[in-house]
């Protein structure tokens, strides 16, 4: 990896796609803490980034020097199984078109957000960036994972042919205050928090959880991820993808027990083995991010869960969406 001078973000015109979303709100906060004032956030109501017209309108309006592409159509296992076509098409087209227009307009940096779902189903743990091409992703989220992986190909091809300064980051599952708690589309932690909180309020004696509980996952507190993204925008300059994680693996069974403890649910846990586990294991090797960015996640899992549950309780009805 070649040495580069850090980008001074405070002086740049920055477009953050998905800036109104869960992760995006934390990225905006981190940018403003660094003195960034010229930030543009395209909203889906006026800038449909799946269409080229929407992408061009966003670039024309903001004239960005740096693009941080966070916008995505995402969800848990259930949502991925229901929407494989739109998860593939929408995520692919947003990224492909944004990067192409960014190349044409010779912006100084493009930061693309990939996903841990791009890794092969049976990747040896911990996942090393070099393993990303060694097999097919887990089937329930393969369309999403492959769409994101094509953006890695585009990033590398554009750097090779055009000298285009783009990078590709692959974060693990995120969680934290402001997450999506809608049971139709939420990821595992907010889904379980809501399930346990609802059971406590209703006095239910049992909750039902998908799968066997044997699968493992790695989770990263959203504010830590936002810091890693900004550090990468400032300091990372390589064709190679970059893992962003906490380097802490936990079984779904242990996760459920931990959330039950934090929420006060004391009933039974029934495992629905007719539902899929998803990828058997997930945990990233984060050495490259430590060496390249000096990034190490500093929010403990218990502290992150506590803050997330407190936010959900305080949000009331707003936290239900």
Which structural domains are found in the chain, ordered by start?
Answer: 11-175+219-247+281-299 (3.40.50.720)
Please report the pLDDT score of residue 76 as a whole number.
81
pLDDT at 317 over 80: no
Is 144 marked active-site?
A: yes
Asked if residue 3 has pLDDT above 90, the reply is: no
Q: Name the more confident of 295 and 76.
A: 295
- CA 236 to chain centroid, in Å, comes to 18
Give residue 320's pLDDT. 53
Residue 318 clears pLDDT 90, i.e. is over it: no
d(CA 137, CA 120): 4
**Does position 2 have pLDDT exceeding 60, yes or no?**
no
Tokens of 90: 């929408």
> Per-residue pLDDT averaged across 166-192, rounded?
94
Q: Are strands 14-17 and 66-69 parallel, antiparallel or unpaired?
A: parallel
Q: What pTM, to 2 d.p., does this model score?
A: 0.93
Distances (CA, A) of 288 to 4, 109, 154, 175, 225: 16, 20, 21, 22, 15
Respond yes or no on whether the N-terminal peptide bond of residue 47 is cis (omega within 30° of 0).
Answer: no
pLDDT at residue 319, as a whole number: 54
**Top-confidence residue, 201 or 74:** 201
Q: Catalytic pick from 26, 144, 158, 312?
A: 144
pLDDT at site 183: 87
- Cα-to-chain-centroid distance, residue 237: 20
**Residue 159 and residue 166 in contact, taking contact as beta carbons nearer than 8 Å:** yes
Q: What is the DSSP letter of 137?
A: B
DSSP per-residue codes, 32-65: HHTT---EE---TTT--TTSHHHHHHHHHHH--S
Mean pLDDT of the chain: 95
List the Cα angle 89/95/96 in 5-degree steps.
Answer: 85
Pairing of strands 206-210, 166-171: unpaired
Distances from the Cα of 147 to the Cα of 25, 156, 197, 284, 303, angstroms: 24, 15, 34, 20, 33
Query: Which whole-number Å values give the CA distances from 85 to 21, 126, 132, 142, 249, in the listed order?
Result: 22, 30, 22, 11, 30
Q: What is the pLDDT of residues 84-141, one digit of tens each?
A: 999 999 999 999 999 999 999 999 999 999 999 999 999 999 999 999 999 999 999 9
Write out pLDDT tens, residues 214-245: 999 999 999 999 999 999 999 999 999 999 99
End-to-end Cα separation, the chain, in angstroms: 42
Mean per-residue pLDDT, 154-178: 97
Task: Report whether pLDDT(1) > 60.
Answer: no
| Mean pLDDT, residues 133-155 taken together | 96
Question: Does position 297 have pLDDT exceeding 80, yes or no?
Answer: yes
Q: Give me the pLDDT at residue 21, please.
A: 95
């Amino acid at each position: 990896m070649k040495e580069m001078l850090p980008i001074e973000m405070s002086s740049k015109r920055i477009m953050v796609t998905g800036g109104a979303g869960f992760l995006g709100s934390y990225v905006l906060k981190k940018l403003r803490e660094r003195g960034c004032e010229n930030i543009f956030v395209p909203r889906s109501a006026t800038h449909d980034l799946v269409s080229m017209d929407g992408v061009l309108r966003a670039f024309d309006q903001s004239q960005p020097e740096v693009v941080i592409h966070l916008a995505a159509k995402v969800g848990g296992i259930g949502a991925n199984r229901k929407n494989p076509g739109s998860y593939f098409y929408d995520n692919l087209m947003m990224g492909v078109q944004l990067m192409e227009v960014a190349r044409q307009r010779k912006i100084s940096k493009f930061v693309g957000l990939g996903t841990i779902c791009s890794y092969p189903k049976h990747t040896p743990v911990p996942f090393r960036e070099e393993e990303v091409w060694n097999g097919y992703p887990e089937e329930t989220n393969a369309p999403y994972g492959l769409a994101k992986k094509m953006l890695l190909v585009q990033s590398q091809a554009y750097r090779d042919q055009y000298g285009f300064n783009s990078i590709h980051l692959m974060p693990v599952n995120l969680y934290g205050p402001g997450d999506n708690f809608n049971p139709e589309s939420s990821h595992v932690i907010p889904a379980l928090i809501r399930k346990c909180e609802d059971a406590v309020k209703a006095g239910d004696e049992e909750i039902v959880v998908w799968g066997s509980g044997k699968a493992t996952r790695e989770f990263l507190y959203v504010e830590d991820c936002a810091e890693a993204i900004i550090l990468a925008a400032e300091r990372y300059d390589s064709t190679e993808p970059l893992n962003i994680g906490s380097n802490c693996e936990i079984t779904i069974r242990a996760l459920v027990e931990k959330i039950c403890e934090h929420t006060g649910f004391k009933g039974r846990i029934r495992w629905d083995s007719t539902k899929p586990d998803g990828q058997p294991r997930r945990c990233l090797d984060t050495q490259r991010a430590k060496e390249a960015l000096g990034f190490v996640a500093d929010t403990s899992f218990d502290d992150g869960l506590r803050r997330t549950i407190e936010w959900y309780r305080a949000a009331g009805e707003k936290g239900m969406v």
